Amino acid sequence: MPVALSDFHPLDLADQALVSDYLRRFPPEISEHTFTNLFAWRAARPLWLAAALDALVFASAAPGHPAVPAILFGPPVGPASVVGILDHYQLPGAIRLPAGPAALLRAAGREPVHDQDNDDYVYRVTDLAEMAGRRYAKKRNHIKQCLRNHVCTYEPMDQDNVEECLTMQEKWCEVRQCQIYPGLGNEDIAITETLRHFAQFSLLGGIIRIAGAVKAFAIAEPLNQDTAVWHFEKAMPEVEGLGQLITHWFARFALGAFKFVNREQDLGLPGLRQAKESNFPDHRVAKFRWP
C-alpha cells in the first residue's frame, strides 16, 4: 500500500464543514458530490477523505478489499488534476468522473470507459413544475386522478414534520419489503440518515398530506449555482398518481430558484431508467471510470 494512503480517514459527520466549504468554492457537476450524498450512503458505499495538492480527494474501496481506500471516487474537489491525484496516491482506478477529468485522463494516455448506468439525468425545473404540452399528458392525467380521489395538501419539510416522514418511510419499507431487497435496504438507511440530519444539512424538502397523514415526500439541495440535486422521493404506492404529484409540486414549490435539477442515475435498472426518461430530461451528465 502506498504510504500516502495513510492520509485518508473514513468520512465522518465531523467533516461536514470542510467538505461543504470545498464544494461551495469548487461547485461540482456530479450528484455524488454533496456532503449529504457522501455521508448518507456511507454504510453501503464506504468512503475515505484526504486533502492533497490544495484539493479534497474521496476514495472508495476496491472490490474484495472493503476496508482499504483504493479507488478515486469522483474528481478531486479543487485545483488539482485527476492525473496528478492518481499519481500522487498511486491509485489503480477512478470512478464517477465527469467529461472534463475523463478528457484529462485520455490526454495522459489512460483511456476512460463511459459508465452509462451512473450518468445523471438533469431536467429543467420549469418542465417538471409546469408539466405542459402533449408529452406530459399522461402524467397530468395521473395527477388529476389523484386530486379527484383525494384531498392532497403540500407543505415544506421542516423539523416539525420530519419525524412523520421517518414514520412514512418505515411504512413504505414494510409495503415494499426493504428487508429482503439489499438495494432498498441500503436506500432506506440513506433516507433515514438524511431525514435525521435534515436541518443540519440545510436541505430542501416537501411533503404531501392526505387526510392529515404524510403520504409522500421529496428531498433536495443546491448542487451548484443553477442546479439542485434531488436526492430522494417517496410516495405511498396505494395512492395512484401520488408519485407524479410529488414530482410536480416539489419542483413548483421548492425548486423555483434553480434552472435545472439533477435527479441522479438509473443504476442500469430498466424500470428506473424508464421512469427517469418518462420525465424528459434536458440532458445528462456523463460519467466515466478508469481503467
Find the mean pLDDT for residues 93-102.
97
Residue 282 lies in a domain: no
Find the mean pLDDT for residues 208-229.
97
Find the mean pLDDT for residues 33-38.
98
pLDDT exceeds cutoff 90 at 251 = yes
If you average pLDDT over every residue of the chain, what do you get?
95
The pLDDT value recorded for residue 31 is: 98
What pTM, to 2 d.p., does this model score? 0.94
Same domain, 170 and 70: no
Find the mean pLDDT for residues 103-108.
97
Residue 274 lies in a domain: no
The pLDDT value recorded for residue 1 is: 44
Find the mean pLDDT for residues 123-148.
97
Among residues of the chain, what percentage have pLDDT more than 90? 93
Among residues of the chain, what percentage have pLDDT more than 70? 98
Final residue in a domain of this structure, among 65, 93, 118: 118
pLDDT confidence of 64, banded at 50, 70, 90?
low
Same domain, 89 and 113: yes
Same domain, 99 and 220: no
Final residue in a domain of this structure, among 118, 135, 168: 118
The model's pLDDT over 145-173, given as tens digits with 9 standing for 90+, comes to 999 999 999 999 999 999 999 999 999 99
Tell me, letter by letter, the H, E, C secondary structure of the chain.
CCHHHHHCEECCHHHHHHHHHHHHHCCCCCCCCCHHHHHHCCCCCCEEEEEECCEEEEEEEECCEEEEEEEEECCCECCCCHHHHHHHHCCCEEEEECHHHHHHHHHCCCCCEECHHHCEEEEEHHHHHHCCCHHHHHHHHHHHHHHHHCCEEEEECCCCCHHHHHHHHHHHHHHHCHHHCHHHHHHHHHHHHHHHCCCCCCCEEEEEEECCEEEEEEEEEEEECCEEEEEEEEECCCCCCHHHHHHHHHHHHHCCCCCEEECCCCCCCHHHHHHHHCCCCCEEECCEEEC
Same domain, 78 and 189: no
Residue 291 lies in a domain: no
Report how far residue 77's alpha carbon sits from residue 38's, in angstroms, rounded to the nearest whole number: 13
Same domain, 57 and 28: yes
Residue 137 lies in a domain: yes
Same domain, 125 and 227: yes
Which structural domain, as residue segments, surrounds residue 218?
Answer: 120-264
The pLDDT value recorded for residue 65 is: 67
Same domain, 90 and 179: no
pLDDT exceeds cutoff 60 at 240 = yes
Residue 289 lies in a domain: no
Q: What is the CA radius of gyration of the chain?
A: 20
Cell numbers placing 185: 435496504
The pLDDT value recorded for residue 69 is: 85
Same domain, 215 and 203: yes
Q: How many domains does the chain have?
A: 2
What CATH number corresponds to the domain at position 182?
3.40.630.30
Of 283, 279, 175, 157, the residue nearest 220 (C-alpha): 157
Instruction: State the first-to-last Cα distance of the chain, in angstroms, to the nearest integer.
Output: 19
Please state which of the ranges 59-73, 118-132, 184-198 shows the lowest mean pLDDT: 59-73
